[in-house]
Amino acid sequence: MAQVEITFQPEGKRAKVESGCTILEAVKLLGVDLTIVCGGEGRCGKCKVIIEDQNCISSLSDIERKLLPGHLISAGYRLACFTGVYGPTTVRIPEESRTGKQRLQVEGIDTRVVPDPTVRKFFLKMTAPTMDDIRSDIDRLLEALASGFGLKAIRVSYNVIPFLPSLLRENNWKVTAVVWNGEKVIAVEGGDTVDRNFGYAIDIGTTKLAGYLLDLRKGKVMAVESLMNPQIPFGEDVITRITHAGKGKKEQGELQEAVVGGLNKMLERLLDKTGVKPEEVYETVAVGNTAMHHLFLNLCPKFLGLSPYPPVIKKGINVKARELGIKINQNGNVYVLPIIAGFVGADSVADVLATEIYKNDEPTLTIDVGTNTEIIMGNKEWMIGCSCASGPAFEGAHIKHGMRAATGAIERVRIDPVTQEVTYKTIDNAKPCGICGSAIVDVPGELLKAGIIDVRGIFNQALSTPRLRKSEGIWEFVIAWKDETAMGKDVVVTQKDLGEIQLAKAAIYTGVAILMKEAKITEADIEKVLIAGAFGFYIDPDSARIIGMYPEIPLSKVKAVGNSAGTGARMALVSRKARQTCNQISRDVKYVELANDPVFQSIYMNAYFLPNAELNKWPETCGLLKRLGRYPETLPPIIQS
């Protein structure tokens, strides 16, 4: 039977299956997260999937016609149990068809800020017009604001005005004015609603969205939501999405609508959870990397993808929510944080805001690990930053059995350095169906300590363990045997996977090394290492250090801070002062273009080795390898610049 390739999004799992097998069979084989209630008999209609390119699948069955509404069918929806696959096909699992949620770390460190929101509410008591007092309704309102609260030169949003007269009279001239930034009345509500003032903070990640509903007066988080970024079908990484959006207005709009759709879906859930009404949410603050920032604001991102990668706008920007399609109060404002440079975005500004490295005496290093890894280093006197193309390996892409952090993903791997036996832990303790980022970081160090690979990351082919074998000409190591896994197939790490992981970590180290060089400091000067980002939260700092992702700095100085970009967004939402600090950060962080550095190539190539070709910079790791008898006899070649 011919084999065809099937890809599941957004998990990113791929497999070859026999031509003619159903999508449901492939789902079971791979352990893809999909709701199946009736067991695949075509009764429940729950296993809805979206297939855009329907060229290589069976035609629509009667059962699907019966169970799927017409508008879904025309949108490409099919039922997994009744759709056969005959050629390469990409299947998207929509949010509503998933069971276990992907693990999305959305909490961050909580930095306390004194609430000082841009949106404030004022309860006004006015008197009704009389023959002696024939001021207009608006003048009455504005003068009440001026006399009661000292607010002068205030404008009123047009669409507040048309129904103001009846509102004022129905409420006996007692209303609450919602004022944005001390300059504009954006809503008037009947009675005293001062205690209901809400905002929506969002962190737009390439892979996932995080949303927070906040009480602006208290500065408190009321509810948290997260969602896969609906732009994923347009491309997994930012460059592919920039390329798509760069094709024209239509394509650019598609990406903007996709992300706004996701943000509105999160908002809807936050409102459901809290009983807050959409019109009571008056402001949104958004952060994201520069590409996400441009695509959210519908700014042409084309030139971000071309050297020297200039952004369209650097400053923070205020846009009406309705212009972007964000469904909060119709006059609500969306503030998007400033960025630093083409590939160091508003998320990095938020990272710095939340981690407060600009207050420290000694240099702090923050690493926000992702497909693009942003690194900021500095203290109260100086800050520099860069972006490294670390690639999607840590997201599970380009890794044979890589997957995102979802139920059944192997998230931790340990290999006994003596017996070479493997132990692992999966998310939700489910049967393994792949391996996710945190374990992908574990693997090279564990293999190295156990003598299964050398410092070049090459398998020791002379080793006799059934776990190490050659498959289709490529060496691989078995992490989980097939009788343990959900897909009835061994979960392996291949020689090519190791190469991908090593290039990814080398890119990150190169960024750190070049920033240290620019700042003229060494690892000994670094007081703290903060690993930021949702994925960073789950990385074992020890594993990351053994593979040389960052310099050998004592582990006591290394801390995972979670989604600090989300924390920064929340701070900017509730505090005007925090927004000013953002502008300062955006101006102060000096951007360093890595590829322009003449030593880029040699640092990058040396960093490919485990932990690095320059072993003398890793004394502790070398000591460990020596004790285990794994220190290399032939030292790796050091590439000179």
Partner 1 sequence: MVEKEKIFEKLAKAIVAYDTDKALAAAKEAIEAKIDPLEAIQKGLAPGIKEVGDLFEKGEYALPFVMLSADAMEAATNYLKGYIPKDKIPAPLGTYVIGVVQGDIHDIGSKIVGTILESSGFKVYHIGRDIPVEKFIEEAEKVGADIIGASTLMTTTMIEQKFLVQEIEKRGLRRKYKVMIGGGPITASWCEEIGADAYAADAVSALEEAKRVMKSKNTTNTS
Would strands 220-228 and 198-204 be described as parallel, antiparallel, or unpaired? unpaired
Stretch of residues binding partner 1 (CB under 8 A), selected from 108-116, 208-216, 264-272, 496-504: 496-504
Q: How far is the CB of 605 from partner 1 (least distance, A)?
A: 4
- Phi first, then psi: what are they for 116, rounded to 5°? -150, 65
Q: Does 282 interact with partner 1 (rule: CB under 8 A)?
A: no
- 564 versus 606: smaller Cβ distance to partner 1: 606
Q: Does 171 interact with partner 1 (rule: CB under 8 A)?
A: no
Residue whose structure tokens are 């909060």: 328
Stretch of residues binding partner 1 (CB under 8 A), selected from 9-17, 148-156, 437-445, 495-503: 495-503
- 259 versus 607: smaller Cβ distance to partner 1: 607
Q: Does 611 interact with partner 1 (rule: CB under 8 A)?
A: no
- 312 versus 605: smaller Cβ distance to partner 1: 605
Tokens describing residue 408: 């059944």
- 219 versus 444: smaller Cβ distance to partner 1: 444
Q: Which residues of 142-161 are buried (b: 16+ CB within 10 A; e: fewer)?
A: bebbeeebebeebebbeebe
Burial class (CB in 10 A: 0-12, 13-18, 19+), 431: middle
Stretch of residues binding partner 1 (CB under 8 A), selected from 159-167, 312-320, 413-421, 451-459: 451-459
Q: How far is the CB of 17 from partner 1 (least distance, A)?
A: 23
- 308 versus 629: smaller Cβ distance to partner 1: 308
Stretch of residues binding partner 1 (CB under 8 A), selected from 56-64, 328-336, 489-497, 578-586: 489-497
Q: Which of residues 505-524 bind partner 1 (CB under 8 A)?
A: none
Stretch of residues binding partner 1 (CB under 8 A), selected from 141-149, 242-250, 426-434, 478-486: 242-250
Q: How far is the CB of 473 from partner 1 (least distance, A)?
A: 6
Q: How far is the CB of 610 from partner 1 (least distance, A)?
A: 12
Q: Which of 84, 305, 451, 632 binds partner 1 (CB under 8 A)?
A: 305
Q: How far is the CB of 148 from partner 1 (least distance, A)?
A: 55
Would strands 77-79 and 48-50 be described as parallel, antiparallel, or unpaired? antiparallel
Q: Which of 166, 471, 601, 641 binds partner 1 (CB under 8 A)?
A: 601
Stretch of residues binding partner 1 (CB under 8 A), selected from 26-34, 44-52, 234-242, 345-353: 234-242
Residue 472 CB coordination number (10 Å): 6
Extended strands (E) in 482-626: 491-494, 528-532, 558-562, 589-591
Number of residues in contact with partner 1 under rule CB under 8 A: 35
Residue 31 CB coordination number (10 Å): 24
Closest by Cα among 178, 226, 176, 191 to 205 = 226
Would strands 434-435 and 409-415 be described as parallel, antiparallel, or unpaired? parallel
Q: Which of 269, 314, 496, 517 binds partner 1 (CB under 8 A)?
A: 496
Q: How far is the CB of 584 from partner 1 (least distance, A)?
A: 30
Q: Does 242 interact with partner 1 (rule: CB under 8 A)?
A: yes
Q: Does 8 interact with partner 1 (rule: CB under 8 A)?
A: no
End-to-end CA separation in angstroms for the chain: 52
- 302 versus 322: smaller Cβ distance to partner 1: 302
Q: Does 84 interact with partner 1 (rule: CB under 8 A)?
A: no
- 69 versus 87: smaller Cβ distance to partner 1: 87
Answer whether 142's CB lies under 8 Å from 156's CB.
yes
Question: How far apart (Å, rounded) are the C-alpha atoms in residues 369 and 521?
Answer: 22
Stretch of residues binding partner 1 (CB under 8 A), selected from 123-131, 275-283, 499-507, 619-627: 499-507
287: enclosing H helix or E strand: strand 281-288
Q: Which of 77, 335, 550, 608 binds partner 1 (CB under 8 A)?
A: 608
Answer whether 421's CB lies under 8 Å from 467's CB.
no
Answer whether 411's CB lies under 8 Å from 102's CB.
no
Q: How far is the CB of 247 from partner 1 (least distance, A)?
A: 10
Q: Does 307 interact with partner 1 (rule: CB under 8 A)?
A: yes
Q: How far is the CB of 478 from partner 1 (least distance, A)?
A: 16
Return the amino acid letter for 266.
Answer: M
Tokens describing residue 604: 């990058």
Question: How far apart (Å, rounded) are the C-alpha atoms in residues 87 and 20?
Answer: 9
Q: How far is the CB of 236 from partner 1 (least distance, A)?
A: 11
Binding mask 456-485 for partner 1 (x = CB under 8 A): xxxx-------------xxx----------
Q: Does 239 interact with partner 1 (rule: CB under 8 A)?
A: yes
Binding mask 566-595 for partner 1 (x = CB under 8 A): -----------------------------x
Q: Which of 85, 209, 365, 503 binds partner 1 (CB under 8 A)?
A: 503
Question: How far apart (Å, rounded) are the C-alpha atoms in residues 587 and 600?
Answer: 25
Answer whether 322's CB lies under 8 Å from 187's CB.
no
Burial class (CB in 10 A: 0-12, 13-18, 19+), 41: exposed
Name the region of 488 (left: φ>0; alpha: ψ -120 to 50; beta: rest).
left
Residue by residue, DSSP assigns 403-440 as --S-TTEEEEEEE-TTT--EEEEEGGGPPP-EE-HHHH
Closest by Cα among 370, 315, 314 to 342 = 314
- 363 versus 392: smaller Cβ distance to partner 1: 392
State the virtual CA torsion across 59, 63, 69, 74 in degrees, nearest 10. 0
Q: Does 94 interact with partner 1 (rule: CB under 8 A)?
A: no
Q: Which of 572, 609, 615, 622 binds partner 1 (CB under 8 A)?
A: 609
Instruction: State the alpha helices, DSSP H only, in 409-553.
Output: 437-449, 495-519, 541-546
Residue 125: strand pairing partners: 174
Tokens describing residue 356: 């407060």
Answer whether 263's CB lies under 8 Å from 278's CB.
no
Tokens describing residue 93: 């699992």
- 475 versus 618: smaller Cβ distance to partner 1: 475
Q: Which of 89, 543, 586, 606 binds partner 1 (CB under 8 A)?
A: 606
Q: Which of 498, 515, 547, 622 binds partner 1 (CB under 8 A)?
A: 498
Task: List residues near partner 1 by CB under 8 A.
Answer: 239-240, 242-243, 246, 302, 305-307, 456-459, 473-475, 494-499, 502-503, 595-596, 601, 604-606, 608-609, 613, 637, 639
